[in-house]
Structure 1
Amino acid sequence: MSKVILITGGSSGIGKSIGEFLKEKGFVVYGTSRNPEKYKDSKFPILALDVANNTTIKKTVSTIVENEGRLDVLVNNAGAGITGPIEEIPEEEIKKNFETNLFGPINVIKAVLPQMRQQKDGLIINITSIAGYMGLPYRGIYSASKGALELVTEAFRMEIKDFNIKMTNVAPGDFATNIAAGRYHAPLHENSPYKKPYGATLNLMNTHVDAGSNPIMMAEAVYKIINTPNPKVHYKIGAFMQKFSVVLKRILPDIVYEKLLMNHYKL
């Protein structure tokens, strides 16, 4: 029997690549979007879901279970970028980012757990970010929301182990997607004390995304995890130096690692 997959944020970028790859491998794939009518040409069904709206989450999960009789894998991929000096990011934008990157994924997990527990089987893959392993300048809120999801996963894994439900994190580095277009950018204020360093860092970040890896790497990684009996707690996917930066943070003194980051961002 083909496994049934739910991918939040499956209409573009990494989510779309994962969905198309898994569809080709014979899985039953459902993606989600806040505006599914825009993606009528999708290679797999796109259902209406807003991770900030619990009603839409429950409705989508119910629809899939009604259609297929089961739900085997959740790929918690929906997320949002945010950049800016923390001092200048409006409080409502900070809360909105955590709603999308942390609280939303938690609510989707809560919605699928009863069905997976009934099946006595399931897999939840949370798409986080290598940025979640370190506090990056002018990406601090994004780092914090993705890092929080990493830690939540660590705890969740132990809590659901008795139900034969597996959970893991997959942290991508920079991939060539349209994430920058949907990212919240704090405005570059002319009189801001952060204008010069923030502007330069923003240009550098966008360059990294444009030159990022092919999203198919993420699709292949997710496929391998689905076929792994006991997934690891953490996976990191991307360029070697991005993955190695996590190792360096673990072994270097804090002040040395901070200097490396500041040199990288020319701060």
Structure 2
Amino acid sequence: MKTDTSSKVVLITGGSSGIGKSVGEFLKSKNFIVYGTSRNPGKIVNFPFSLVALDVTRKETITSAISEIIKKEGRIDVLINNAGIGITGPIEETPEEEIKKAFDTNYFGPLNVIKAVLPHMRKQGEGLVINITSIAGYMGLPYRGIYSATKGALELTTEAFRMELKDFNIKMTNVAPGDFATNIAAGRYHAPVLETSPYKKAYSNTLDLMNQHVASGKDPQVMANAIYKIIHTKDPRGHYKVGEPLQKFSIALKRILPDKVYEKMLLKHYKL
């Protein structure tokens, strides 16, 4: 990667709010050339960095946005796949179309952006892709099973990509955040709490707990600092975790505890 950050071009999907916006603002302050994406950038005024129109579920917008940046800057040095949506609910009661939408946004979307950017990075002889996943992607969480699955799929795909890209000087890594104080809960799909559902009480209680965790989450600036450090790392690791110590420790525990013990720990945490 180039050492002169003022010449580095960064593309951040889902850059109009939350973690994406915080990362973009911070990198802009460090003299990076930053492009964020939004499905409707024309509706956003007085934004701190450039926005291009891109919807990760529509391939034509991915192609158009990347072509626009390449035409203006001649290169894309860092891709930060941040666009994503939340989804909660009993798996049995979650509509199939919502499950597919979550995978289209959280998995196939980032995958298609990567595919579109790689030829340009290969041509320029270097590049870095940072996939924003989730600590939830390391474990199947109750009433967040689909979200966990989408993020876990991206984690594993990145591992494979790293080996496939080793000959091209293109680096790829995952950054898994825990709970951050963003607006993700507002945009999350919630399967309705049905009066007749056998999951009513457990799901309702878990939903309240999840929303409390987000509301009391860390400042997104912590993610911005972590990503800035990764960009300046010569050979990034495959996985980074950013969050509360207990959230990060939960991943280590999953590796060493018997399955049933770990499951009981999660059940206790979610009061199930």
Please confirm whether the aligned pair reaches a TM-score higher than 0.5, indicating the same fold: yes
The yes-or-no answer on 1:151 pairing with 2:167 is no
Match of 1:21 among 18, 26, 38: 26
SS of residue in 2 equivalent to 1:170? strand
Alignment partners' CA distance in 2, 1:38 and 1:25: 26
The yes-or-no answer on 1:44 pairing with 2:49 is yes
* Alignment partner, residue 223 of structure 2: 218
Greater CA deviation, 40-49 or 225-234?
A: 40-49
The yes-or-no answer on 1:184 pairing with 2:189 is yes
The yes-or-no answer on 1:124 pairing with 2:121 is no
TM-score if structure 2 supplies the norm length?
0.97
- Structure 1 stretches of 4+ with a deviation exceeding 2 A read none
Report the AA paired with residue 18 of structure 2: G
Tell me the CA shift for residue 39 of structure 1: 1.8
RMSD: 0.6
Residues 59-99 of structure 1 show CA distances to partners (whole Å, capped at 9, x for unaligned) of: 10010010001110000000000000000000010001000
Residues 149-208 of structure 1 show CA distances to partners (whole Å, capped at 9, x for unaligned) of: 000000001101100000000000000000000000000111111110000000000000
Alignment partners' CA distance in 2, 1:20 and 1:109: 22
* Alignment partner, residue 8 of structure 1: 13
Task: Percent identity, please.
Answer: 72
Gaps (5+ residues) in structure 2? 1-5
* Alignment partner, residue 111 of structure 1: 116
Match of 2:250 among 245, 250, 253: 245
Report the AA paired with residue 128 of structure 2: L
SS of residue in 2 equivalent to 1:6? strand
The yes-or-no answer on 1:82 pairing with 2:87 is yes
SS of residue in 2 equivalent to 1:145? helix
Residues 215-240 of structure 1 show CA distances to partners (whole Å, capped at 9, x for unaligned) of: 00100010000000000000000100
SS of residue in 2 equivalent to 1:189? coil
Alignment partners' CA distance in 2, 1:42 and 1:156: 33
The yes-or-no answer on 1:254 pairing with 2:259 is yes
Residues 23-82 of structure 1 show CA distances to partners (whole Å, capped at 9, x for unaligned) of: 000000000011112322210011110000000001100100100011100000000000
Report the AA paired with residue 77 of structure 2: D
The yes-or-no answer on 1:94 pairing with 2:65 is no
Alignment partners' CA distance in 2, 1:75 and 1:246: 23
Alignment partners' CA distance in 2, 1:266 and 1:39: 41
Report the AA paired with residue 24 of structure 1: S
SS of residue in 1 equivalent to 2:165? helix
Match of 2:202 among 180, 197, 200: 197
Within-5 A mapping of 1:36-75: 36-75=41-80
Q: Count the aligned residue pairs.
A: 267
TM-score if structure 1 supplies the norm length?
0.99
Alignment partners' CA distance in 2, 1:194 and 1:41: 45
Alignment partners' CA distance in 2, 1:40 and 1:76: 23
Alignment partners' CA distance in 2, 1:54 and 1:138: 30
